[in-house]
Amino acid sequence: MERASSAPCDEQLLARLAGRGITPTPQRLEVARALFGRCEHLSAEEVHASVNADGRHVSRATVYNTLGLFVSRGLVREVIVDPARVFYDPNTDPHHHFFDADAGRLIDIDGDNVAVTGLPPLPEGTELDGIDVIVRLRHSR
Amino acid sequence: MERASSAPCDEQLLARLAGRGITPTPQRLEVARALFGRCEHLSAEEVHASVNADGRHVSRATVYNTLGLFVSRGLVREVIVDPARVFYDPNTDPHHHFFDADAGRLIDIDGDNVAVTGLPPLPEGTELDGIDVIVRLRHSR
DNA sequence: CTAACTGCAAACGTTTTGCAACTTT
DNA sequence: AAAGTTGCAAAACGTTTGCAGTTAG
């Protein structure tokens, strides 16, 4: 089953890596496929499992290295909502998240309409790295 | 606003625990002292270290159990900004945080003036548990 | 040749768990 | 005795690291 949006072809992924100056390797393509090939937020362990599910194999260390590389190059975004796992979000547009802790589920909130107002000035010697808004949910009875 | 804020006496702590239906034990008082006796965000390990610094001893398991108990009773708040550690915040008023990842430092932002607007409706079957705004900082230049 | 990349396994730090001992009633 | 609490040590979990081997330029 191939749909351009949910399963980008390798050329698109290659272009994406190239655009960030990332040397493409088979392993990195696998990781990129796992992240961009579905519309989900994946934890590092889930990426590792996903990459190794279809008969191929990429080591844990390489998955973690690759995810770190992708984050440092702005290809994906790290979302920290649960101490037990970091999620990697292929959506790098400004946006926020619903987090359903009961289900361990993270849902994007489009950033266009969301505004945070009334923030105080930043502490001395620091600059803004980003604003995460996490709307924590619980299941209603 | 009464001022014994930086070193509340045991009676205040006892009242605080009682108010949440928490049976006071010497260990729980120690943990409460560590959290409310200073104006800092502490990680579980820091609480453990703090409690064990002044000659007394509370086991790791008890510290973790106690922190979990305090969170579940709303006595302190869990702030998750770093996968490597959960911070415990004695300030349970609505507020947000600056997070300086380089320094591992968390700073409260008073919630009174901060507003988040433009959020979409919550997903079916869920209700709001809270909104965390995390302003991530990096050191300039 | 050199630099970059990968994989394995061991190490790491935080948190959780199993279980026996101790308190409190 | 029953319920609740504690401490120790071990385990579990996600993540990082050391290093040898491989690949690419």
The secondary structure of A42-105 as a DSSP string is EEHHHHHHHHHHTS----HHHHHHHHHHHHHTTSSEEEEEETTEEEEES--SSEEEEEETTTTE
Question: How far: B109 CA to C12 C1' (Å)?
Answer: 33
Does the predicted model carry a pTM greater than 0.85?
yes
Give chain A residues 41-60 with Cβ within 7 A of strand D.
43-45, 60
- The pLDDT-based confidence of B73 (bands split at 50, 70, 90) is very high
Instruction: Provide the pLDDT for residue A56.
Output: 87
More confident residue, B34 or B9: B34
Q: Are strands A95-100 and A126-139 parallel, antiparallel or unpaired?
A: parallel
Cα(B86)–Cα(B4) distance, rounded to whole angstroms?
27
Cα(A50)–Cα(B30) distance, rounded to whole angstroms?
45
Asked if B57 and B31 count as a contact pair (C-beta separation under 8 A), the reply is no
Question: How far: A95 CA to C17 C1' (Å)?
Answer: 38
Q: Are strands B95-100 and A95-100 parallel, antiparallel or unpaired?
A: unpaired
User: Cα B52 to the chain's mean position, in Å?
Assistant: 19
| A27-70 tens-digit pLDDT | 999 999 999 988 789 999 999 999 998 788 999 999 999 999 99
| B17-47 tens-digit pLDDT | 999 999 999 999 999 999 998 878 999 999 9
